[in-house]
Amino acid sequence: MLRRLIRPFLILFLVACRAAPATAGPTPPLATDTTAPLSSPTPGAPASTATVTPVPPALLTVANPALIQIDFQDTKDGWGIAANDSGYVLRTVDGGRTWLNATPTGLSAVGFSTSLFVLNVNTVWLLAPGTDFFSAVLYHSLDGGATWASNPVPFGGAWLQFVDASNGRALADRGAAAGSQAVELFQTADGGVTWTSVFHDNPIQSGSSDALPFGGIKSGMVFFDANTGWVTGSQPIPGNVYLYRTQDGGSSWAAQALPLPAQTATDQFVTQPPVFFGSQGFLPLRYYTPGGGSAETVFVSQDGGATWSGDPAAPNRSIPSGIVAAADPLHAWSWDGGPQIYSTADGALTWSAAPTSPDLSEKLARLEFVPNGPGSFIGWALSSLDENGHSQLYTTNDNGATWTPVVP
CB 349 within 8 A of CB 318: no
Question: What is the H or E stretch that residue 325 is in?
Answer: strand 323-326
CB 243 within 8 A of CB 258: yes
Q: CA angle, corner 99, sides to 96 and 101, nearest 5?
A: 155
The region, left, alpha or beta by phi > 0 then psi within -120 to 50, assigned to residue 226 is alpha
Beta bridge partners of 225: none
CB 184 within 8 A of CB 157: no
What CA–CA distance (Å, rounded) separates 375 from 37? Answer: 30
Output the CA–CA distances (angstroms, integers) from residue 39 to 45, 199, 226, in the order listed: 18, 19, 6
Question: What is the H or E stretch that residue 71 is in?
Answer: strand 67-72
Closest among 66, 87, 86, 69 to 78, alpha carbons compared: 69
Q: How many helices (H) and strands (E) does the chain have?
A: 0, 32
Instruction: Beginning with the edge strand found earlier in the chain, give each strand of the sheet holding 147-153 in spatial order.
Output: 51-54, 147-153, 136-141, 124-129, 115-118
What CA–CA distance (Å, rounded) separates 171 from 132? Answer: 17
What CA–CA distance (Å, rounded) separates 320 from 374? Answer: 28
What CA–CA distance (Å, rounded) separates 383 from 362? Answer: 9
pLDDT tens, N- to C-terminus, the chain (408 residues) = 444 443 333 333 333 333 333 333 333 333 333 333 223 333 333 334 444 544 445 789 999 999 999 999 999 999 999 998 889 999 999 999 999 999 999 898 798 989 999 999 999 999 999 888 789 999 999 999 999 999 999 999 899 999 999 999 999 998 877 889 999 999 999 999 999 999 999 888 889 898 999 999 999 999 998 899 999 999 999 999 999 999 999 999 999 999 999 888 899 999 999 999 999 999 999 999 998 888 999 999 999 999 999 988 888 899 999 999 999 999 999 999 999 999 999 999 999 999 999 999 999 999 999 999 898 999 999 999 999 999 999 999 999 999 999 987
